[in-house]
Structure 1
Amino acid sequence: MRTVSPPDTWVYALRLPHDPRATRVARMTVRSVLAGHGRLEILDTVELLTSEMVTNTYLHTKGPHHSA
């Protein structure tokens, strides 16, 4: 079996403080990155999933957060 990787793979890391404003920062970052890569067709879905993930992390943990 062979692993196939898209030629335009990119990786980003974002460190967020334990702060209710972190969700907005994450959404804005995702919006900027996807727009910069011309991926507007998935923007709304990825933005919603990011918002849910960061909000849940904020509500159910006590420390700083790292997402990669």
Structure 2
Amino acid sequence: MTTFSTHVIRWQKSSFSGVDGEDCVELAHHGGRTLIRESDSPGDVLAVLPHSLAFLIRGAKTHSFMPGRE
């Protein structure tokens, strides 16, 4: 497990984060990875390769992960 100092990382909040900005996912880039965290739990950070995140988002948008879909 890698620990990131989240104080020096510049996080970007989603434009869909709501009025107070507390209900969102935040993204950042660090060391060739895309970092993802939930705004209400900023200490929990998921680090993924950018192409892996793109694959996940593309699959979610096209419903590719639905049971029975190839």
Give the TM-score, by structure 2 length. Answer: 0.32
Say which structure is richer in helix.
1
Give the TM-score, by structure 1 length. Answer: 0.33
Say which structure is richer in strand.
2
